[in-house]
A and B are shown apart, each in its own frame.
Chain A
Amino acid sequence: MATIADELAIERRGHRASAARRRTNFVIFLGPAIVLTILFFVLPVIIDIAVSFTDLGRSLRITEFTTEQYQKVFRTDRRLTQVIGLTFIYVFGTLAIFNVTFGLILAITTTAIQNVSGSFFRGVWLLPRMSPSVLYILLWLWAVSPTEAGLVNQVLMQAFGLRAPLDLLTTAPVALIIISNGFIGASMGMIIFTAAIRGIPEHLFHAAAVDGAGTFAKIRFITLPALRWPISFVTIYQTLSLLVSFEYILLLTKGGPFYDTTVYALYVYRRAFESGQYGYGAALALFLIVIGIVVALIGWRFFDMERLLQRPRIEVH
C-alpha cells in the first residue's frame, strides 16, 4: 500500500514538475514573441482607439474626450468617398495587374527557360525591391520628369518624334503609382510562385507530355492548380500591405496633384501630420485597422487559408 502511495506521489510530483517545466518553456519560448506582439501590435491599436476619442491636436494636448472625430468621418469629410474609391482602384489594380498576374507570368516564364537566364531575369526583377525606397523613387522622378531630360520623354522625343515633353505626374498619376508599386510588388509573387513551381514533381509534366499536353495545357492543368495556395497567400498578404503602405506614393506624388493619388493610408498621414489633426487621424486609422482585419478574415474564409496552414497528414519525401 505504502509503495503504491509513494509511487503515486512520485508520479504527481513528476506531473507537477513537467507542468512547471511546460509553463517555464512557454514563458521562455513564447514570452518574447507575446510581449513584442502586445507592444507593437495590440498596444498601438488600443492607443489609437483611445486617441480617436479625444481632441488631440497640433500641440499634442487633450482637452476633452469626444466623439467629434467620428462625426467628422461620417458627416463632414467630403474627401473620404473619393479617397476610398481611389484606394480600391490602387489596391485592386496593383494586385490584379502586377502582384499576382505579372508575378505569375514572371515565375512561369523564368522557370520555363534555361536556369541561368531564368535566375538572371528574376534577379533583375528583384532589384527594385532591394534598392532603398528613396533611391528607387528618385529614379522614377527622373524617368517621368516633365522636362526633356526625363527618361520617358527622351525616349519618346528622340525615338518616336514626340514634340512636347509629357508630364505624366500630372496627366497619369494613378497609373504611375500603380506601376511604381507594382514593379516592387511583382517580385514577391515571383519568388513564391517560382518556389511552388519548382516543388511540383517533375514526373507530372512528363506524364502530361506523354498524354499529348502542350505548354498551355501543362500550365492550365498542372502548374496553376498547384499554385492555388501560394496565389491565395500572395493576394491576401499583398492586399493588406498595399492598404497600409504609402511611402512610395508620398515620395513620388506627395498624394497629388490635388488629392488624386491620396490613398486612404496617405490621407490618414496627411490629416494627422500635415495638418496636426491627430485625433481625427486616429479615428481614420481605426477604420483602416478594421478594414484590414475584415479583409484578412474574408481571405481566410474565401481562400481556405486554414487548410494551407494545417499540418500535412503524411510526410512526403
Chain B
Amino acid sequence: MMFHWKIGTAALLSAALAGGTAAFVMATPLFAQEAVKLELWSRQDPSGPLRAGNVVKAAERLNKELEAEGSPKRVEVVVRESPAKGFDDDALQLLKVFGIGEGPDMFIAAHEWICAFQEDGFALKLDDYIAKYPQHFGTIFPSLWKAAKCPDGTYAIPQDAEARMFFYNKKLLREAGYDDAFIDSMPERTLSGDLTMDELLEIAKQVVDKTNAQYGVLHRPNKGPDYIMVFNAYGNDFADPETGNLLLERDKLAAAFGWFERGVKAGVIPANNTAMEFDALRKEFYTGNAAFWMYGIWDLGSVAFPTYGLPQEEKTFFEDWGWIAGPAAEKGGSPVSLTHPIVYVIAADTKEPELAVRLLGHASAADLNTDHAVTTTHLGIKPEQLEDPRYAEAWPLARATDLLKITKFLPNNAQFGELNGIIYAGIQGVESGRLSAQEAADFVIDEASASLKDVIVK
C-alpha cells in the first residue's frame, strides 16, 4: 500500500511539475522579455538635442523589429548627459570616464577625437557591422565616412555635417559704401578665389571706419574648429598625407597667424576676442555691431532665427545678411570651408555590440536625421534626405551644400584635439599682442614638439 501510494504521489507530482514547466515554457515569450540597457553619453548641446533624442526614438523601432524576429530582447536607451561646454572638453572628460571603467555603451563625439578613443582601446571597430547592415548605412555619403576612420578601420557612424563660413551683415557693408552688386557678388568671388582673406579684412575695416559698428570680424572665444579654416586657407593641413602624423609648417603657420595679427592691428578683430563670452559675440554680430562672424551654418537655426529674430524667409534673409566661404589667401588661390561631422561611436566593451549597431542604424534613418537637420540647420547624411520636402524647405541647408565642394575635414589624428588647444593659445597670444605671428608659429611648434608625439616639423 505504502509503496503504491508513493508511486501514485510521485506520478501526480511529476505530472504537476511537467504541466507547470510546460505552461512556464509556453508563457516564456511573455514573461522572459530581457531588457537590455544601453547607455548613451551625450553632451548637453542646444545645437543638437536630437543627436541623443533620435537614438531614444530609434529604440522603439528596434524593439518592434526585435519583436517581429521573436527575440526576447528589448532595448532601453539611458542617456547620460555631460555638461561640458564644447566637444573638446567633453572628449577629455569621457576619456577619463572610460579610463576608470565607467564608460557608456555608445557616445556622441566630434569626429577628430575618435582616434584618441580608438588608440586607447575604447572604441569598437565597425567595418564588419557596417557591411552587414547596408539597409542602415549603405547610402551615407562616402565623403562623410572619411571622417569616421582611424588608420586601421572605421570607428564611428557619421551623424551630421555642416559648413563653416564667414557670415556678413549686408546693411553695414552698404552703410560703409559698398554697392549691392559688390555685396551680392562676394560669395561668388570668394568661391572663384578672387576675394582674398586680406580683402575681407579691408572690407571689415571700411565698416569699422565708416559706420557705427564697433567690430569688423568676430570669431569663437574658445577652442574649436572654425578658425582652423583660416589656417587651411594659408595651406596648413596639419596631417602628413603619407604617415597621418601631425604636420606643422612654420611658414604656413606664421602666415595664418599673420592674418589675425593684421586684423587686430587694423582694429578689425578685437584684441580681447578670446576673452569675450560666446553669447556676447553672437549678440554683437546679430544686432548689427560687427561686419563678419566666423562660425557655422547651424547657428542660423539654433540661435539667429529663434533668439535674434533674423528673417527665416530665404529672400528676406539674403536682403540684409549673407555668407561667404573662407576666402583664399591670395588672388586665384583656393577658398576654404570646413565641415565638422559629429559621429556616433560604440564602446569596445559594450555587452551588446550588435544591438548597439542596429540601434544607431535606426537612429540614422533618413526621417529621424532630417528632423535633426531641419530643426538645427545641420546637413544630412544621406541622399534620400534631399528628397524630403522639409529638407528642401530648409533653404540654409541647400545653400550651404554649395560649400561642400570645397570643404575640408580636421585630421582624424588622436592628438589633434590637443594641438588645437595649442593653436588656440597661439591665436590668443597674437590677438592680445603678446606674440608676433612668427613667435606664435614658433610657440605652436615648441609646445607641440614638447607635449605631443611624432610631430613632423617643416
Residues of A within 8 A of B (CB): 58-61, 72, 76-79, 146, 167, 169-170, 253-254, 256-260, 274-277, 280
Contacts and interface: CB of A to CB of B under 8 A. Distances in A.
B428 A58 contact: no
Interface of B: 92, 95-96, 98-100, 116, 120, 122, 271-272, 274-275, 418, 421, 425, 428-429, 431-435, 446-447, 449-451
Given A72-B450, A257-B432, A277-B451, A59 B122 contact: yes
Given A76-B450, A170-B272, A258 B428 contact: yes
A169 B98 CA distance: 38
A21 to B, nearest CB: 46
Contacts of A274: 421
Given A72-B450, A258-B432, A275 B272 contact: no
B272 A146 contact: yes
Given A258-B425, A258-B434, A169 B99 contact: no
B239 to A, nearest CB: 20
Given A59-B95, A256-B432, A276 B418 contact: yes
A59 B121 CA distance: 10
B134 to A, nearest CB: 33
Chain A to chain B: the 3 pairs with minimum beta-carbon distance, closest first: A60-B99, A257-B432, A59-B99
A163 B103 CA distance: 55
26 contacts: A58-B96, A58-B116, A59-B98, A59-B122, A60-B99, A60-B100, A61-B99, A77-B450, A146-B272, A146-B275, A167-B272, A169-B272, A170-B433, A253-B275, A257-B274, A257-B429, A257-B431, A257-B434, A258-B428, A258-B429, A258-B434, A258-B435, A260-B434, A274-B421, A276-B95, A276-B96
A257 B429 CA distance: 7
A170 B432 contact: yes
Contacts of B451: 72, 275, 277, 280
Contacts of A277: 451
A259 B116 CA distance: 27
A78 B429 CA distance: 15
Contacts of A280: 451
A20 to B, nearest CB: 45
A60 B122 CA distance: 13
Q: Which of B98, B421, B432, B446 has the most CB of A within 10 A?
A: B432
A124 to B, nearest CB: 30
A276 B92 contact: yes
A58 B95 contact: yes
Contacts of B272: 146, 167, 169-170, 257
Query: Chain B at the A interface: mostly helix, strand, loop or mixed?
Result: helix
A59 B434 CA distance: 33
Contacts of B449: 76
Given A72-B450, A76-B450, A77-B450, 20 more contacts: A58-B92, A59-B98, A59-B99, A60-B96, A60-B100, A61-B99, A76-B449, A78-B447, A167-B271, A167-B272, A170-B271, A170-B272, A257-B429, A258-B428, A259-B429, A275-B421, A276-B96, A276-B418, A277-B451, A280-B451
Contacts of A260: 432, 434
Contacts of B92: 58, 276
A228 B238 CA distance: 60
B448 to A, nearest CB: 11
Q: Which of B92, B271, B275 has the most CB of A within 10 A?
A: B275
A274 B222 CA distance: 12
Contacts of B275: 146, 169-170, 253-254, 256-257
A139 to B, nearest CB: 16
Contacts of A169: 272, 275
A142 B122 CA distance: 43
B96 to A, nearest CB: 5
Given A258-B429, A275-B451, A59 B421 contact: no
Nearest to A167: B272
A256 B428 contact: yes
B116 A78 contact: no
Contacts of B447: 78-79
B189 to A, nearest CB: 34
A72 B421 CA distance: 19
A281 to B, nearest CB: 12
Contact of B120 (A61, A77, A78, A170): A61
Nearest to B434: A258
Contacts of A258: 425, 428-429, 432, 434-435
Nearest to B432: A257
A72 B447 CA distance: 11
A274 B93 CA distance: 10
A267 to B, nearest CB: 12
Contacts of A259: 425, 429, 434
Contacts of B116: 58
A256 B99 CA distance: 30
Contacts of B98: 59
Contacts of B431: 257
A261 to B, nearest CB: 11
A260 B272 CA distance: 13
Q: Which of A76, A274, A276, A280 has the most CB of B within 10 A?
A: A276
Nearest to A72: B450
A59 B96 contact: yes
Contacts of A78: 446-447, 450
A254 B447 CA distance: 19
Nearest to A257: B432
A60 B450 CA distance: 20
Contacts of B95: 58-60, 276
Contacts of A253: 275
B101 to A, nearest CB: 10
Contacts of A79: 447
A276 B93 CA distance: 9
A253 B434 CA distance: 15
